[in-house]
Structure 1
């Protein structure tokens, strides 16, 4: 029965993936809600996002919800990324082991800074300053189907707010892990950001207009601009990990991921992680896409695990080089396990 269930899950994910158009230049820039694609999880960022097959507990949720199944006890994660264009990304996540599996709550909030309000009548500014709010709230459930197979799913609530104009939507991730009995190898696949189209609506899309040809004494009409709907940035990932070298307390893990994008060129990701006694980790990664304006270069990072009472605290840092006009990205985080 479990084999039938597994086959159904795999075929379902593959069927969803085949519905997505292969990555091309023609659809670049046509999807919205791009905050769904902004990576979180310091370890994954340092490994260039090549961790679709990694079961690193709570930090795996963004890359593949199936990785949450390995969580033991309670975990809490706090992270901050200095993203491109002076954007700060704050990420909070909490998870707990349940009788039936694992459950996690996540919140990604983008600090886009202050916006000086301008209008047609005041192009230099009205003196009003507004704060932009983009947030993604998630709930993840994951469990082992067999000793070697885990499945996870995440539901997201998306909120974008700009000057009394709002777009709200939902998205879903579904992922699978399969452990192989060789060199700590694991295979993973995930379908991300499935969901209905979104559109903006709100008071600032309404305008008071005097209809041409109407009586001068007639009241202005309130007209609403209809915002065009936009798709979510759906993509499919397939990848694996394995132990490349082990000697005593030293281990080197290798990671690889293929990402098939629906609204941009496909990407290839690879990473290497050195671990000493599960105490110190050094990481590096690289992502590639066949496009001239691809922003991201090599990434690097390190992590330190320390005992804390009856649990542990992990402090991690990641550096992501960025080409062209933007500053490099820096991420720092703390993860607590109880």
Structure 2
């Protein structure tokens, strides 16, 4: 009972700190629209989505690479993860991840992300109602992750990330780095997760769409290039905790070999928004069936989230199927589904 009380107090304090942030003050500067490639902040794990986006400490395996690269240090063998998300306004994005254990303490992972806006009608100054031509906004990232078990309680990881954005006839490409850690504190069974994402140089758009033909030019092809302003990537610092309230582990507050109930909470401090957070729970029955729920704290549109999943054993392999949704209020629901294979 004492442990439950202490965990409850800690949760209330963290939630209170997030709600106390100044983003609700009318005159505050929220830093919105001050960075490029905001799609780098999209949630890619279905399990995380069902828990309200909490994953920096709770994530284990390749689906957590974008949240915290140290999460692949939980792998016992190899894992493949595939997900599809029907986002808002007809936008969809897909993820493919792979990870494997190289040695007793070394781990390697790959994460590929691809976003498609769907068809958008082309309009010009002369044809404001459209030219009967469509274009797509596409964004992709390719991550190479490495993680290491430093001790039985500490895991660290880093990611090298190639990113590319295409908007009609303009494009941008760059590289960025992520780093993170997971630490079993040994205090009431709390796991602490930390990560820094999208650390890299400022980016600038270029391409054919920014070329202007001129009659008199020193350029061989008779074109001049417009110089666009450069913008930083959306650098994010995440801090999270995870705790088994009920479960078979020795760190669980209440012991049970059949049921597990985990609580997780994240706080995020981005360079292009105010501090916000996520809180969620996951219930597991014999680690075969899962129910999840969570909420976004301090987010301008995202709110309640929920989901579930099933685990199947198939000989030497196992499979996981997960589904989640997030309520974006006026933007309606986001749906995400994923399949994972462990071998």
TM range (shorter): 0.7 to 0.9
Residue 9 of structure 1 corresponds to none
Query: 51-60 vs 84-93, which deviates more?
Result: 51-60
Counterpart check, 1:323 vs 2:324: no
Match of residue 93, structure 2, among 85, 89, 96: 89
Deviation track 1:152-203 (CA, whole Å, cap 9, x = no partner) reads 0111111111222110011111001111335543111111111100010111
8 Å CA contact 1:209, 1:220 repeated in 2: no
**TM-superposed deviation, 1:102:** 1.0
Relative to the length of structure 1, the TM-score reads: 0.86
**What runs of 5+ residues in structure 2 fail to find an aligned partner?**
1-21, 248-255
Relative to the length of structure 2, the TM-score reads: 0.85
Residue 297 of structure 1 corresponds to 303
8 Å CA contact 1:173, 1:194 repeated in 2: yes
Match of residue 125, structure 1, among 127, 130, 137: 130
8 Å CA contact 1:55, 1:66 repeated in 2: no
How far apart, in 1, do the equivalents of 2:197 and 2:324 lie?
23
How far apart, in 1, do the equivalents of 2:241 and 2:148 lie?
19
Residue 234 of structure 1 corresponds to 235
**What runs of 5+ residues in structure 1 fail to find an aligned partner?**
1-21
**TM-superposed deviation, 1:144:** 0.3
How far apart, in 2, do the equivalents of 1:119 and 1:145 lie?
57
Counterpart check, 1:178 vs 2:207: no
SS in 2 for 1:296: coil
Counterpart check, 1:311 vs 2:317: yes
Counterpart check, 1:267 vs 2:276: yes
Deviation track 1:179-228 (CA, whole Å, cap 9, x = no partner) reads 133554311111111110001011111112457xx9xxxx9963321111
How many residue pairs get matched? 307
Counterpart check, 1:255 vs 2:264: yes
SS in 1 for 2:287: coil
8 Å CA contact 1:183, 1:243 repeated in 2: no
How far apart, in 2, do the equivalents of 1:98 and 1:248 lie?
31
8 Å CA contact 1:55, 1:70 repeated in 2: no
Relative to structure 1, the CA distance from residue 173 to residue 48 in structure 2 (aligned partners, 3 Å threshold; closer, same or farther) is: same
Residue 51 of structure 2 corresponds to 47
Match of residue 161, structure 1, among 122, 144, 166: 166
8 Å CA contact 1:315, 1:334 repeated in 2: yes
How far apart, in 2, do the equivalents of 1:36 and 1:322 lie?
18
8 Å CA contact 2:90, 2:117 repeated in 1: yes
SS in 2 for 1:113: coil
Relative to structure 1, the CA distance from residue 120 to residue 66 in structure 2 (aligned partners, 3 Å threshold; closer, same or farther) is: same
CA RMSD of superposed structures (Å): 2.1
Query: 232-241 vs 202-211, which deviates more?
Result: 202-211
